[in-house]
A and B are shown apart, each in its own frame.
Chain A
Amino acid sequence: MIPDPSFLTVRDLYVQFKTEDGVVKAVDGLSFGLDRGRTLGIVGESGSGKSVTSMAVMGLHDPRYSEVSGEVWLDGENLLTATPRRMEALRGRKVAMIFQDSLSSLSPFHTVGSQIGEVLTKHTGASRREARERAIEMLARVGIPQPKLRVDAYPHEFSGGMRQRAMIAMALVCDPELVIADEPTTALDVTVQAQILDLLKALQEETGSAIIMITHDLGVIADVADEVMVMYAGRAIERGTRREVLKAPGHPYTWGLLASMPHLATDPDSPLRPVRGTPPSLLTLPSGCPFHPRCDYADRVPVDLCSTERPDLHPRTGHSSACYLSQTVKDQIRG
């Protein structure tokens, strides 16, 4: 399970950005892990640090503006101490990323086929012809009709759903062992979202890769994640299996996320139950639990513990939430 996986282990990850206004603590001490063939869903709102985390794993933070510390072990190798050259060799080959915005992540000046093929020529030294063949194969695999024609098309000639498929093809062309998908369906229409999630699942079953699925959408999590990590203000505030986190959430923030999300089973005539207030500024994080200013239950915890001391996840148990509320009180609250 999560605390001791063999494939990917992230330990005490910190990412800070120096800005004119001060130091932004985007990721503030994060540890998690993932096994091959499994999908970890990272949920959080904007500013929770979920994308910054994935960029750190990919080694994409510019050292001039950011400070990254901790350990990111992938298959026995610490990526944070790897040379830029080594990272370049790993990216695209062993670790690949699928971005949210396919229009701005693909080059408008190159054909889709050449962009997919480039990954291959760069990493395997394949000839241009081989690369083209493989690009056609990949386009077919991700379900793009007429791949032999489409391989020579430019991104603007594709619809949003097709571009996202092309990006998945590009990410997967070298059969990476770890795929990071950062909100891969957020920009897509609902009926196309399901297609893309199905596709990712099918490809994972074929290749056995590990997937980190970053999303703000608990519906996507319920659909694809094996394990879930909920992030808030740069930290993991809850983690567990999909069922544990969605069916028996332990953190008031997770409760809030679930309650504020309208779905078809909720009573449409009763008001939604939002989390009050707004997420904290990462420049001046609240003392103690970063969620306590928005939490309705901080007064159920004895002596101002919530506002003075930061709670942590239990390092050894599978399902854990960083909250001082006792299980008895939680059961009372949740009824």
Chain B
Amino acid sequence: MAEPLLQLTELTKHFPLKRRRVVVHAVDGISLSIGEHESLGLVGESGCGKSTAGRLVARLQEPTSGTVSYRGQDISHWSRRRMRPIRSEIQMIFQDPYASLNPRHTVGTIIGGPMEVNGLRPTERGIKELLEIVGLNPEHYNRFPHEFSGGQRQRIGVARALALKPRLIVADEPVSALDVSIQAQVVNLLQRLRREMGIAFLFIAHDLAVVRHFSQRVAVMYLGKIVEIGDRDSLYERPRHPYTHALLSAVPDPDPDTPRRERIRLAGDVPSPVNPPSGCRFRTRCWKARDRCALEEPPLVRLGGNAEGHLTACHFPEAPTTHGSDVVLDPALS
């Protein structure tokens, strides 16, 4: 297999809370890789560490331990100066199209600024071409962010990332702040860019239905750990981890005929990452948890019946059948 574009190995990020002398285990030893031109979806609920993972990949933060390798080089602790040549190759698209654009800069400056910093000479023509690629009117070159709608602003953010000809884009919830009808526009735009320009993506989102439309492989995170990872079809059609089952069953479905009883209602909330549960971190909300789950952390391994590359971290995985058919209701609520 060719060398992956990006390789994370046992990547960990802990945030110390000074006042209380405790540590937030944001990301706790995750390993994954992204190949050239590949799109990997990273899903999970708030606080699971998916955004921190994205920021570690973009080297906006330095890992506590573990490594981030980009094209075979360990960049985990590179200085700003050393990072400079590859900064342009790893770009980010942010969730909030309102907070991530400078309100005092014109669109031209917003897109041209990073080019200048990276030693590319921005030309009006080049920027207008970028605007056209992302579906904005090139004549709006001199306008300010407030003159655009949320979806249009997100397109500006995409154009800014594209300006540096990146090989990898970390997109952190790029459509979750947008209206439904606009979300689809932006997902289609990113999809087109990935296909036409061969850019690899780390696509971070909480919405499994959106991720399914964008990713070739998908990783599911819970409380700082990857609990399941695999090819899209394998993961969506034969999920093995109870948490993946629960997430899939909670995906909104506009068809009133879908039997609602099949939905898994998880009890309680996600535990605090300051003091994660022992053993399997999902056990406190899992309907299959037994003593072993508290004692032993399940390794992320390929289970019998799973496709290659489909790894699951669970002692008592679900049977490898199509999801929905063997869904167990949360006993606490039934």
Contacts and interface: CB of A to CB of B under 8 A. Distances in A.
Contacts of B144: none
B263 interface: yes
Given A278-B152, A279-B179, A264 B184 contact: no
Contacts of B275: none
17 contacts: A45-B180, A162-B269, A189-B45, A189-B270, A190-B207, A191-B264, A192-B45, A262-B184, A263-B209, A264-B236, A264-B251, A264-B253, A266-B209, A271-B188, A274-B182, A275-B181, A276-B185
A217 B179 CA distance: 10
A257 interface: yes
B255 A272 contact: no
Interface string A266-301: 101001111110110000000000000000000000
A260 B149 contact: no
Given A193-B250, A198-B265, A219-B254, A260 B45 contact: no
B184 A263 contact: no
A266 B152 CA distance: 26
Contacts of A223: 252, 260
A190 B265 contact: no
B182 A221 contact: no
Contact of B333 (A198, A261, A274): A198
A247 B149 CA distance: 31
A160 B210 CA distance: 23
B240 interface: no
A36 B248 CA distance: 34
A107 interface: no
B123 to A, nearest CB: 28
Given A198-B333, A279-B149, 19 more contacts: A45-B181, A189-B206, A190-B250, A190-B251, A191-B246, A192-B266, A218-B180, A246-B254, A247-B256, A261-B254, A262-B184, A263-B251, A263-B253, A272-B213, A274-B183, A276-B185, A278-B151, A278-B152, A278-B182
Given A159-B269, A262-B210, A278-B151, A45 B179 contact: yes
Interface of B: 45-46, 149-152, 179-185, 187-188, 191, 206-210, 212-213, 232, 236, 246-248, 250-258, 260, 263-266, 269-270, 285, 333
Contacts of A260: 180-181, 183-184
Interface in A124-160: 159-160
A319 interface: no
Nearest to B233: A268
Contacts of B212: 262, 264, 268
A242 interface: yes
Nearest to B252: A219
Most chain A CB atoms below 10 A, which of B46, B184, B191, B248:
B184
Interface string A177-195: 0000000000001111111
Contacts, number: 135
Given A45-B180, A278-B151, A190 B206 contact: yes
A242 B256 contact: yes
A261 B181 CA distance: 7
Contacts of B152: 278
A243 interface: yes
B256 A243 contact: yes
A194 B250 contact: yes
A234 interface: no
Contacts of A265: 253, 255
Can you list the 10 inter-chain pairs with the closest CB atoms, starting with the nearest? Answer: A219-B252, A274-B184, A272-B184, A260-B184, A275-B181, A189-B45, A45-B179, A218-B254, A190-B250, A262-B209
Contacts of B210: 262
A29 interface: no
A290 to B, nearest CB: 14
A258 B45 CA distance: 24
A322 interface: no
A258 B181 contact: no
A45 B183 CA distance: 11
B45 A191 contact: yes
A210 B236 CA distance: 38
A221 B269 CA distance: 23
Interface in A200-218: 216-218
Nearest to A215: B252
B258 A222 contact: yes
Contacts of A221: 254
A257 B181 contact: yes
